[in-house]
Structures are given as structure tokens and as C-alpha cells.
Amino acid sequence: MGNDDRRRTIPRTDALLALPAVVEARARLSEPTVRAVISSAQQAARDGALPVEQVADQVERSLRDRATTSLTPVLNATGVIVHTNLGRAPLSDAAMAAVQSAAGYVDVELDLTTGRRGPRGAAAREALIRACPAAEAALVVNNGAAALLLAITALVGTAEIVVSRGELIEIGAGFRLPDLMAVTGATLREVGTTNRTHADDYAQAIIERTGCLLKVHTSNYSVQGFTAEVDVAALRTLADEHHLPLIVDLGSGLLAPDPALPDEPDADTALRAGADVVIASGDKLLGGPQAGLLLGKAEVIERLALHPLARAVRTDKLTLAALEATLTAEPPPVSVALHADPDRLRVRAEALVARVGGTVVAHDGRVGGGGAPGVPLPGWAVALPAQSAEPLRLGTPAVLARVHNGVCLVDLRCVPEADDERLAGAVAAALRSADD
């Protein structure tokens, strides 16, 4: 009987909808979202998990703090620039403004001069070609995997792909390139060994059913020691002898050589060496939105663009806008972090220690996202007690640091300098919480 009495005192939905904070929330949140919060609080009271007298306060508090997305902005203090768990590349201010501008009606596929249908994403493609002069044409799809899928489907079909055994990679979340290629119906012919592959290995594997030669950048790892691989120029010679297309999947998205990463392959160099088409990601070293970039010979790119699969993997107007801005405006955050001055990083770290405590220690950053695996980026971090990592993650702003050897390391490489004050506040709050 007592339980029934308690349930009868739970505030009714119409009464909760009339609360001032709820009325305000209904102006910015959908009706189902608001009612779901109310229903959740009422159910918690029925279950005895929430005192009846706190239902109204819980509803108001939940809706007052409710954002329109569950994604939480994070300050990346790990030192890993292209951090997949944090959405890879953060967009530049110009790219974010371009996304905002493109959010409404835009001429994504319209020629305003003639009033007729126009080419989709023409400006983004032109910007790509300017950034990679060896490319005659470019195509943008929704990610790197889609780009490889399209290239193999359109150029190879169900024929054989000749690829080095050492380049059949697996990347994050168990994603394996051989599995992706197999769904096209093509057959993989592995050549060489894990550590050594020679031109003769490719040559001996080419048969009548061979559809292409494929070279893949070994993202996330490097093979060192007694090794050998065949470069793009040598593969071009073989491809010409047998009239085969040469596909090069770089993955990491470097369009042109970068002195900071002298051993990282880039699209412009691969195309000059003879690749028919080069595949890269837009949200890695390029520093733009998630996208699959296909750059290469005009006739090859046109063949890909006309394939029916191209429609299924095409990208949207927001991505095209962000990509164009990334290529035409100021250097994106990824580039800034990659070329950060270690001396300046130390000065910022020392300023943080002066504010909140801790110790400045040498700390190497990393490219991440499969780019330049194992290449250190010299810098500095602030060493804090390991138990401060959790309150940093759960604080406002959320800060993701690196926990290593029992120490919480706060690396400022990927934190915009304009956010140093916010970071200091977050660290101070986390240290107080860790001491409680």
C-alpha cells in the first residue's frame, strides 16, 4: 500500500512539462528527447532509485545540461596528433566555418551561372590537384576504405590483385585490408615474404587473370632489419610490360613531401613515380574531414567516377566544404602540431607547472593514425600523479592525457595554445579531486 501511495505522488508529465527549465528546453530540444528525460526520472522514482521529491529537480537539471549531441569535446593531451579514438584530425577554424556555411542550401551540384546541374565537388577536387600537382584528376569518397573498394571494383573486378605479403595489413578495430578486397570478388595473389619482396616475385606472379599491381603503405608498424621492398617506379615498369594498372594505397594522407617526416610516402611522389591512382585519407596527415581521396591519371579517375559504386560511396556537401577549406586556408591543427617547436612546448609546460604543480619531463609525441609509425616527435609533458587521469577525463573541459609507467603525462602538443588557460583550470580541478 505504501509503495502505491509513493507512486501516486510522482509528478505528472503535464506538470513536469510546465516547469520553466523544461519549457526552455522544449525550444531547443525535440519533444521525444524532452519526454524521454521526464519518463526516465519518473521510472527511477517508481523503482525507488530516486526520491519522489527530487523528480522535478532531476528533470530540470538533466535538461538544463542536455546538449544536442552526446559527443563531448576533448582536449587532446596525449601527444598523439591523429588520434582515432578522438575523431582523428581536428578541423581548422576555416574548415569549421565552411561546414557551418554549407549546412544550409548550397550550390553543391548546381551551376548558378546557367541554372543547370553542375559537377559535384569541383572546387574541392581542384584544390586537391593544386596541392598535389602530379595528379591529373581527383575524386573524393567517404573514407579511405571506400576509395580502395571503388578502385579495385572498377579497375580489377574479379581478376587477381598482386600484392606483397608484407603489405596485407590489419589496422584498428580488427579491420583487415585483405577482407575488404575479398568482398569485391577479386582474388589476392600474395608475393614475397613478410620482410622481403623483390621485383621478380611480382613478375613471376603475373598471369592472364592478373588485374592490377597493388602497393600498400604499412600503416601502424614498420619492418626493420633484413628487409626489401619494390618501389613504385619498378612496379610501374612491370605494370607497363603487362598492361596493368598500378594502385598505391598510402592511407596516411600526405599529399606532398614534408621535411618533418622524410621517410613518409606522399601522393605527389608516388604519382610521379608512375602510380595510376593513389589513395589517401582526408582526416589524417592532411588534417581535414573524414574522406577517401583518389588522385591520379585523368582517364583512370574518370573510370572510377563513372562506376555505379561511386554513387554509393560519394561524400556529402559538409565534407566537401571542409576539405576545400582545409586545402585553401591556414595550416590545419594537424600541421601545427606536427611542426610544433619543442622549445615552445617546454615553455608552455613550464607555465602549466608554475600554475598547478607537477614536473616537466621530456616526452615524444607521435603522428598516430598509421602515419610515420615509430617516428618520435620530440617535445615535453607535465608529469602528474596517475590518479589524476580519471578526473581529467571526466572534468569540464574533458582532458585526455597519457598514463605511462604509473604517471599521468599531459602533453601540450595537440592542445591549442589558446586553450592553455582552460587546460590549467582542468588540471587544477583534477588534482583537487584526486586528493579528496
pLDDT at 2 over 80: no
Q: How confident is the model at residue 3 (pLDDT cuts 50, 70, 90)?
A: low
CATH number at residue 115: 3.40.640.10
Where are the strands (E) in 97-199, listed by range? Answer: 110-111, 116-117, 137-141, 160-164, 187-191
Q: What is the mean pLDDT of the chain?
A: 94
Is the same domain home to 278 and 372? no
Q: Are 258 and 250 in contact (CB under 8 A)?
A: no
Is the same domain home to 41 and 80? no
User: What digits encode the pLDDT tens for the residues 323-349?
Assistant: 999 999 999 999 999 999 999 999 999
Is the same domain home to 183 and 309? yes
The verdict on residue 69 lying in a domain is: no
Residues 6+ apart with CB under 8 A from 33: 66
**Lowest mean pLDDT segment, chosen from 59-68, 130-139, 225-234, 306-315:** 59-68
Is the same domain home to 254 and 141? yes
- Residue 277 grid coordinates: 591512382
Over residues 205-232, the mean pLDDT reads 92
233-262 burial, b if ≥16 CB within 10 A, otherwise e? eebbebbeeeebbbbbbbbbbbbeeeeebe
Is the same domain home to 311 and 389? no
Q: Which residue has the higher pLDDT, 202 or 181?
A: 202
Q: Which of 228, 271, 269, 283 is nearest to 247 (CA)?
A: 271
Is the same domain home to 11 and 144? no
The verdict on residue 219 lying in a domain is: yes
Is the same domain home to 267 and 303? yes
pLDDT for res 155? 97
Is the same domain home to 120 and 175? yes
The verdict on residue 135 lying in a domain is: yes
Q: Are 283 and 291 in contact (CB under 8 A)?
A: yes
**Lowest mean pLDDT segment, chosen from 80-89, 182-191, 219-228, 334-343:** 219-228
pLDDT for res 1? 40
Q: Which amino acid is at 398?
A: A
The verdict on residue 427 lying in a domain is: yes
Is the same domain home to 55 and 102? no
Q: Which amino acid is at 48?
A: G
No. of H helices and E strands in the chain? 19, 16
User: What digits encode the pLDDT tens for the residues 240-280?
Assistant: 999 999 999 997 889 999 999 999 999 999 999 999 999 99
User: What digits encode the pLDDT tens for the residues 288-321?
Assistant: 999 999 999 999 999 999 999 999 999 999 999 9
Q: Tell me, rounded to whole angstroms, the distance of Cα 210 from its chain centroid.
A: 33
**Lowest mean pLDDT segment, chosen from 4-8, 308-312, 354-358, 394-398:** 4-8
Over residues 121-142, the mean pLDDT reads 97
Give the SS3 label for residue 121.
Answer: coil
Q: From 263, 297, 330, give the residue that closes a domain.
A: 330
pLDDT for res 201? 97
Count: domains in the chain? 3
Peptide bond preceding 51: is omega within 30 degrees of 0, i.e. cis? no
Give the SS3 label for residue 19.
Answer: coil
Is the same domain home to 178 and 208? yes
pLDDT at 113 over 70: yes
pLDDT for res 173? 72
The verdict on residue 252 lying in a domain is: yes
Over residues 213-222, the mean pLDDT reads 87
Is the same domain home to 54 and 199? no
Q: Are 81 and 373 in contact (CB under 8 A)?
A: no
Is the same domain home to 42 and 98? no
Q: Which of 23, 33, 16, 32 is nearest to 68 (CA)?
A: 33
pLDDT at 434 over 80: no
Residues 6+ apart with CB under 8 A from 90: 76, 332, 333, 334, 414
Over residues 397-401, the mean pLDDT reads 97
Over residues 387-408, the mean pLDDT reads 96
Q: What length does the chain have?
A: 436
User: What digits encode the pLDDT tens for the residues 31-66?
Assistant: 999 999 999 999 999 999 999 999 999 999 999 888
* Structural domain containing residue 122: 92-330
List the strands of the sheet with 74-77, edge to edge: 74-77, 398-404, 407-411, 380-385, 359-362
Residues 6+ apart with CB under 8 A from 241: none
CATH number at residue 386: 3.90.1150.110
The verdict on residue 121 lying in a domain is: yes
Over residues 190-209, the mean pLDDT reads 96
pLDDT at 172 over 80: no
Residues 6+ apart with CB under 8 A from 159: 186, 187, 209, 210, 211, 212
The verdict on residue 416 lying in a domain is: yes
Q: Are 310 and 141 in contact (CB under 8 A)?
A: yes
Q: How confident is the model at residue 5 (pLDDT cuts 50, 70, 90)?
A: low
Half-sphere exposure of 422 toward its Cβ, with a 13 Å CA cutoff?
A: 15
The verdict on residue 291 lying in a domain is: yes
Q: Are 364 and 379 in contact (CB under 8 A)?
A: yes
Where are the strands (E) in 7-147, listed by range? Answer: 74-77, 80-82, 110-111, 116-117, 137-141
Over residues 185-193, the mean pLDDT reads 95
pTM of the model: 0.91
